[in-house]
Amino acid sequence: MTIHKLMVKDIRNLEALTIEPSPFINILYGLNGSGKTSVLEAIHLLGLARSFRSNRVKPVIRKDQQKCTVFGQVRHSGSAVLNVGVSRALQDENFQIRVSGENLRSTSALAQHLPLQLINPDTFRLLEGSPKDRRQFLDWGVFHVKQRDFIPLWKRLQKALKQRNSLLRHGRMSSSINRSTIAQISSELQVWNSELVKASEAVHQLRDEYFEQLKPVFHEVLSQLTELSGISLKYYRGWDKERSFSEVLAESLEKDIQSGYSQSGPQRADIRVRIDGTNAIDTLSRGQLKLVVCALKLAQGMLFYRKTGKQCVFLVDDLPSELDAPHRKALCAILQNMKTQVFITCVEQSALADCWLPEVYVKVFHVKQGRLEANEQIYPGREIRQAESLEIEHE
Ligand SMILES: Nc1ncnc2c1ncn2[C@@H]1O[C@H](COP(=O)(O)OP(=O)(O)OP(=O)(O)O)[C@@H](O)[C@H]1O
Ligand SMILES: [Mg+2]
């Protein structure tokens, strides 16, 4: 998928702009505070109806405005262009999504039209942060590659888990947790346990299959990015691998009642990244951590393409930060070879000047106080290309 045309209205400091990006590499450069990340945020909003910088809608909407809108013409390979529009308003935490003239109610339906991968300075959180971030990363792949199977299973899992937790909390409120309380809750839980076990095992199986496919692609990308060796990836399913999930649920019942929630299951799954047997985050430098995370995200994009024939759009915020010139070049080379659409931000345009192959269509935008100017850039060996139409609209 590629964004053929992007229109942004009232997102952060972007008042109104229209751009026609390159289907391959787009560079947005400009001073601090000029609006580079805001453009990426607008694209994120178009793909997921939410920002990657804030859970709240207020900070995303331009000061003193009531709503923000982003509109994109999204081209799917070999098919027509889809018109996608997303608006968010101050008074309403909900979103309005329109795809080809129809209102959509779910963000998962939207996400199918514009799969995105984000690499930004917070990307380290994938390794340093909570398992939730890593589960979300894994589920991005399972969702996009095995959509039809995954969504209904995911809903079943959430429902069974919610019901089980609600019964557990009910049990916790009993005056004393003794054998008879446990026996009573255990019998009430039976129906939900059985549903939970089925959905959990099915979700685990999809994740496991996807993860096994991702691992070799990750190692392939990592070796193109860095000399770093000894990195291993492991998937933890959320319960003891030696025992069945029903056994684990039965054994942990008393603890689950005491805490009021299910302590094991796919909601506790994780990916563990290790280097020579130690935790990667305790050993690797910041730059190395960033390379590992980049390799994970690039591998996901590659696997998505290999499995579905579709490309995702990469948003790379502040690419040069913490990467030296050889690693920057290696990362740019992979992005170019993927022939996917990429939006990259940087402060100094020169930081990425020698990273592009002559045949790659690189479009450069100079971001100045919330406005974008197309800036013709000649890279070594590349023909001078006229900037495609770029209009800047002002209210
Ligand atoms: N809701 C808002 N309304 C108006 N302006 C805003 C709003 N939120 C943030 N800004 C301003 O928008 C500007 C652009 O921010 P943005 O993060 O996009 O800059 P940037 O070009 O990525 O900068 P940097 O190089 O520092 O990362 C900043 O000056 C910021 O203060
Ligand atoms: Mg920024």
Whether the predicted pLDDT of 392 surpasses 70? no
Percentage of residues in the chain having pLDDT higher than 90: 68
> 299-349, pLDDT tens digit by residue?
999 999 999 999 999 999 999 888 999 999 999 999 999 999 999 999 998
Would you say residue 182 lies in a domain?
Answer: no
Nearest CA to ligand 1 atom 19: 33
Cβ atoms 14, 70 nearer than 8 A: no
Within 10 A of 339 (CB to CB), how many other CB atoms are there?
Answer: 12
Q: Which whole number is the average pLDDT over 224-245?
A: 95
Would you say residue 315 lies in a domain?
Answer: yes
SS3 72: strand
178 annotated ligand binder: no
Ligand 1 pocket by C-beta < 6 Å: which residues?
A: 12-13, 30, 32-38, 59, 61-63, 347
Q: Which whole number is the average pLDDT over 168-186?
A: 72
Would you say residue 60 lies in a domain?
Answer: yes
Would you say residue 356 lies in a domain?
Answer: yes
> 76-121, pLDDT tens digit by residue?
876 789 999 999 999 887 789 999 999 998 888 898 899 999 999 8
- As given in the structure block, the two tokens for residue 152 are 């209904």
Would you say residue 184 lies in a domain?
Answer: no
30 annotated ligand binder: yes
Cβ atoms 70, 11 nearer than 8 A: yes
State the pairing for strand pair 313-316/116-119.
Answer: parallel
Q: Provide the pLDDT for residue 176.
A: 66
Give the distance (Å) from ligand 2 centre to CA of residue 324.
Answer: 19
Report the nearest atom of ligand 1 relative to the CA of 60.
Answer: 1
Would you say residue 86 lies in a domain?
Answer: yes
Q: Quick one: angle between helices 286-308 and 131-145, nearest 10?
A: 20
Whether the predicted pLDDT of 382 surpasses 80? no
Whether the predicted pLDDT of 377 surpasses 60? no
- Report how far residue 191's alpha carbon sits from residue 87's, in angstroms, rounded to the nearest whole number: 41
Q: Provide the pLDDT for residue 174.
A: 65
Q: Which whole number is the average pLDDT over 44-57?
A: 93
Q: How many domains does the chain have?
A: 1
State the pairing for strand pair 67-75/2-11.
Answer: antiparallel
Pocket test for ligand 1, best of 34, 67, 346 (most atoms within 8 A of CB): 34
Provide the β-strand partners of residue 11.
14, 61
Would you say residue 268 lies in a domain?
Answer: no
Q: Fill in the amino acid letter for 50.
A: R
Pocket test for ligand 1, best of 8, 10, 11, 12 (most atoms within 8 A of CB): 12
Percentage of residues in the chain having pLDDT higher than 70: 92
Q: Provide the pLDDT for residue 167.
A: 86
User: Tokens 């506790």 identify what position?
Assistant: 268
Q: Provide the pLDDT for residue 383.
A: 42
Would you say residue 23 lies in a domain?
Answer: yes
> 133-176, pLDDT tens digit by residue?
999 999 999 999 987 789 899 999 999 999 999 888 876 666 56
Pocket test for ligand 1, best of 36, 67, 88 (most atoms within 8 A of CB): 36
CATH number at 384 reads 3.40.50.300
Domain that holds residue 101: 1-115+310-395
Phi-psi region of 193 (alpha: psi -120 to 50; beta: other; left: phi over 0): alpha
